Each structure stands twice: as C-alpha cells, then as structure tokens.
Amino acid sequence: MTTSQRTLSIIKPDATRRNITGQINQRFESQGLRIVAQKKIRLSLAEAEKFYAIHKERPFFKDLCAFMCSGPIVVQVLEGDNAVLLNRQIMGATNPANADEGTIRKDFAESIEANSVHGSDSEESAHSEIQLFFSELEIVG
Ligand code: CMP
C-alpha cells in the first residue's frame, strides 16, 4: 500500500558550501519526491540544539550543533508516497562509509558529521520537525 507522506529534509552546511543543493534536489525529484516547501536559513546555536535535542547526551552533540551553525542550510518539506522511508533510501546510511552506491551520502558526504543531508526518521518526527521550521501556509503541495 502506498501513502502520501511529508518528511523534513535539511541540506547541511557542507553541501551548501560546495554549491550542490541543485544536484541533491535532483536526486529527490528524479526519485519521486516533490519539494513542497523550501528555504535557505542559518541556524543559531540555540536552534541547532533544539532541533537535535534528542541527541543531547551523545558525545557528538556539541560538534554536530556547531557544524550545523557553521554555514547556511536549506530546510525543505518533501512529499510523496512513503516519503519518510523513500527519503532515507535516497540519502543512504548516516555514515557515508556504509552508504549504498548511488545514494546522496555515498556520492556527496564528507564524513559522518558532514553527511550532506538530514531526513526525518519516522512519521512522528517528520511532523514535529516540519512544525519547527514551517507553518502550514508555507507548504504548497
Ligand atoms: P542526522 O541524520 O542529521 O542525525 C544526527 C546526526 O548526527 C547525523 O545525521 C550525523 O551527521 C551526526 N553524527 C555525528 N557523529 C555521529 C555518530 N557517531 N553516530 C550517529 N550520528 C552522528
């Protein structure tokens, strides 16, 4: 069964720095996801810490938040059939060393931290992550 879903995607500072947001968006669009909201922003440290609060006890939390503030990011809502899982397949494994051929992280990520993209890991987190960045009026399906 297919269900239309929305998921939150972030194109991270390592990717905006290398000017490859278009190449990344092409991966989403060519594999069935529609970009129904998108904006380029720069996170404050407090905003990054709020977004990644679930990881606050992890040893990489401080570095991760500093990295996410180190340059602009593109936040976007992707929509399509099974968008949460489909986006995770398109991104590939968190660690680019473990990512499958043809995935964004295999082809573009620099490291486990500078791994080019974030995507929500469940429908529940998609819902709350989308609300952190977008109002319903800004999402145009
Ligand atoms: P992301 O999908 O944005 O979710 C949390 C991020 O933490 C993850 O991608 C990685 O970029 C980052 N990270 C850094 N170190 C690690 C690690 N050892 N294990 C998991 N995630 C890590």
Written as one string, the DSSP assignment of 69-138 is TSS-EEEEEEEEETHHHHHHHHH--SSGGGPPTTSHHHHH--SSSS-SEEE-SSHHHHHHHHHHH--GGG
Return the residue whose CA atom lies nearest to atom 6 of ligand 1.
Answer: 113
Q: What is the pLDDT of residues 41-51, one digit of tens each?
A: 999 999 999 99
More confident residue, 96 or 2: 96
* Residue 26: strand, helix, or coil: helix
Q: Would you say the CB of residue 112 lies under 6 angstroms from ligand 1?
A: yes
pLDDT tens digit string along 19-63?
999 999 999 999 999 999 999 999 999 999 999 999 999 999 999
Taking the centre of ligand 1 as the mean of its atom positions, its distance from the CA of residue 100, in whole angstroms, is 17
Confidence of residue 1 (pLDDT cuts 50, 70, 90): low
Residues 126, 120: Cα–Cα separation, whole Å? 5
Burial 71-110 (b: 16+ CB within 10 A, else e): eebbbbbbbbebbbebbbebbbbbebeebeeebbbbbbbe
What predicted TM-score, i.e. pTM, was given to this entire model? 0.97
Could you identify the atom of ligand 1 that is nearest to the CA of residue 113? 11
47 lines ligand 1 (CB under 6 A): no
pLDDT averaged over every residue in the chain? 97
